[in-house]
Amino acid sequence: MDAKVINIKGEDTGRKVKLPASVFAVDPNDHAIYLDVKQHLANLRQGTHKSKQRNEVAGSTKKIKRQKGTGGARAGSLKNPEFRGGGRIFGPVPRDYSFKLNKKLKKLARLSALSYKAKENGITVVEDFNFENPKTKQYTEIMKSLNFAAKKILLVMPEMNRNIYLSSRNIPSQKATTVAEINTYDILNAQNLLLLESSVKLLEKSLSK
């Protein structure tokens, strides 16, 4: 599969880059995608939710009434969860939601997501560019030239470029990442993938092993 390379003005450069079938044309595995996305979202959870249980509520532990003869249920103290101000029954406690996945499964999930994007013609290759200084306005103008200003875009760089990253950071619909940090969730969450020309070979190298 060949993809034409365009410049930052949206013009065809006349060059083409090969999108290897081993990365962009594999048989997608939906369950691998599901597990990888589930793990990504689970790892983002802080798990800091907490409610006070019976032993943590402030109050007297004195028995509020005699055990028998009142005609009502037994009650030990005001911390009883059935009373107003008492502890919560089975309330949330801090926990770690993260879990591990096999590396081969995560790799298959990324390959599947990239293959889906290629099948949907959602991949654009643009020649490498750089900024002298971080300029959000300049980055926005490039996206307008590429007709991507109103779309959710994932820009994939061969390696971390601080100026490009800072230029795109304040735009909610734009995200810049590197080949080493690309993940299944970001691929599927974006409407289009914008690959810098030099990142294509690195993707093939990292995912075709």
Per-residue pLDDT of 94-151, as tens digits, reads 999 999 999 999 999 999 999 999 999 999 999 999 999 999 999 999 999 999 988 9
| pLDDT tens sequence across 29-83 | 999 999 999 999 999 999 999 999 999 999 888 998 899 999 988 888 999 998 8
- Among 148, 146, 196, which residue's Cα sits nearest to residue 173? 148
Phi then psi for 111, rounded to 5 degrees? Answer: -60, -40
Domains of the chain: which residue ranges?
2-45+98-207, 47-96
Sign of CA dihedral 118, 123, 124, 126: negative
2-45+98-207 maps to CATH 3.40.50.300: no
User: How far, CA to CA in Å, does 63 sit from each of 59, 73, 84, 147?
Assistant: 12, 13, 16, 72
pTM of the model: 0.83
